[in-house]
Amino acid sequence: MAQIILQPGREKSLLRRHPWIFSRAIKQVEGTPNSGDTVDVISAKGQWLAKAAYSPKSQIRARVWSFENREIDLEFFIEKLTQAKQIRQGLIQDKSDAYRLIAGESDSLPGLTIDIFANVIVGQFLSAGVERWKKLIVQALQTVFPDMPIYERSDVDVRKKEGLKPVKGWLSGESDFKIWIKENNLKILVDIDKGHKTGFYLDQRENRQKAAKYVKNKSVLNCFSYTGTFGLYALQNQATSVTNVDVSQNALDTAELNYKENGFSTGYTNVNADVFKLLREYKQDGTQFDTIILDPPKFVENQRQLVSACRGYKDINMLALQILKPGGTLLTFSCSGLVEADLFQKVVADAALDAGVQAQIVEKLTQAQDHPISLNYPEAFYLKGLVVKKI
């Protein structure tokens, strides 16, 4: 088997079980591994450290499969999938049938995302290793989840960093692309073919529930609403009105179906608009809300974009605080991993200063329990949320 020999001192992160090996940490590669092949990782002093997947095109030159000297084979993948399934069964209650089964490195399957939507599996193969072993991973999924169709949504730009092309399609069986899932007894339509990511934002499940205590008898503005699920929870919990705002008319059309399916025909408005522009219009005409939810898409993909991303977060939070009624609640989120929690809090604090308002944090939020954060892989922590009261 091919080997990666590390530079002196570069074994420290692996001894702490961090799963990434960057190109600059490698002294030499012995053998001729192809993209995704399994390699042994060896320290400069000759100590065996890990089994990893080799990725010659990526700055992350290898991702660790295991810190045990074992074969990476069908049995390995079945074991990891079974372990993840058992963990999630303790987290997901009977009132929900959609969850994240595999969260990449946190589940020891680097670069792999697997979501379960009712009786359909949707996967993203984002690294050279899981691409190399795709057929075996599909076979393992078929073993752990017999008779469930498997759809691939690897149509994302991040694959280019691994030298891979975007791709999507059925890997096993077939099903309708549009699937009704159950989340806390609400019915939600998921489009696994054209929806964002794998089709739906499962990472906000618990936060949608937690938001419920801030909406009773309140007017709610749901920004970057996608298919309207924060607003759906708000109506279920007796909000007086819900305004969903999104730039995608297709997403809003799905929101309309969601609301009708759950028995709501009034009390909500779906607005197809740019959130930044609309909030400025609301400010100009004096429109205010009791509760505002900001759940924007990722603003930053790399370190070079961090300053402009923080400016965007500050602007949107400033505008929201300006149109929030006194005593009102802002639930604001960042899903950008490069925007760390302390930085995000500082940005929101700066937004309050610029808005000329006093505010206080009453609750901090994070990603759902089926999106675990490995203690050895802090990069898995990406979703930050603050519940802010305007004084």
CATH of the domain at 353: 3.40.50.150
**Does residue 90 sit in the same domain as residue 235?**
no
CATH of the domain at 10: 2.30.130.10
Q: Within 10 Å of residue 240's Cβ, how many Cβ atoms?
A: 14
**Does residue 231 sit in the same domain as residue 108?**
no
Q: Is residue 124 a part of any domain in this protein? A: yes
Last residue of a domain, one of 141, 163, 179: 179
Structure confidence at residue 300 (pLDDT): 82
Structure confidence at residue 90 (pLDDT): 77
Q: Is residue 269 a part of any domain in this protein? A: yes
CATH of the domain at 146: 3.30.750.80
Please give the Cα distance from 135 to 131 (Å, whole number): 8
Q: Three-state SS for 84?
A: helix
**Does residue 138 sit in the same domain as residue 160?**
yes
Q: Is residue 196 a part of any domain in this protein? A: no
Structure confidence at residue 170 (pLDDT): 99
**Does residue 214 sit in the same domain as residue 125?**
no
Q: Which of 109, 239, 335, 387 is catalytic?
A: 335
- Tally the domains of the chain: 3
Please give the Cα distance from 141 to 223 (Å, whole number): 36
Please give the Cα distance from 352 to 365 (Å, whole number): 19
**Sheet of 112-117, strand order:** 98-103, 112-117, 120-125, 150-154, 167-172
**Does residue 385 sit in the same domain as residue 356?**
yes
Q: Is residue 184 a part of any domain in this protein? A: no
On whether the CB atoms of residues 228 and 200 are closer than 8 A, the answer is no
| Identity at 327, one-letter amino acid code | G
Q: What's the sign of the alpha-carbon dihedral 62, 37, 101, 252?
A: positive
**Does residue 48 sit in the same domain as residue 79?**
no
Structure confidence at residue 299 (pLDDT): 86
**Does residue 56 sit in the same domain as residue 108?**
no
**Does residue 235 sit in the same domain as residue 366?**
yes
310 catalytic per annotation: no
Q: Is residue 346 a part of any domain in this protein? A: yes
Q: Is residue 270 a part of any domain in this protein? A: yes
Please give the Cα distance from 165 to 269 (Å, whole number): 39
Per-residue model confidence as pLDDT tens for the chain (391 residues)? 999 999 999 999 999 999 999 999 999 999 999 999 999 999 999 999 999 999 999 999 999 999 999 999 999 999 999 999 999 987 776 789 999 999 999 999 999 999 999 999 999 999 999 999 999 999 999 999 999 999 999 999 999 999 999 999 999 999 999 999 999 989 999 999 999 999 999 999 999 999 999 999 999 999 999 999 999 999 999 999 999 999 999 999 999 999 999 999 999 999 999 999 999 999 999 999 999 999 999 888 888 889 988 999 999 999 999 999 999 999 999 999 999 999 999 999 999 999 999 999 999 999 999 999 999 999 999 999 999 999 9
Q: Is residue 198 a part of any domain in this protein? A: no
**Does residue 173 sit in the same domain as residue 253?**
no
Last residue of a domain, one of 164, 179, 194: 179
Q: Is residue 191 a part of any domain in this protein? A: no
**Does residue 82 sit in the same domain as residue 62?**
no
Last residue of a domain, one of 43, 66, 89: 66
Residue 32 sits in which domain range?
3-66
**Does residue 105 sit in the same domain as residue 154?**
yes
**Does residue 296 sit in the same domain as residue 247?**
yes
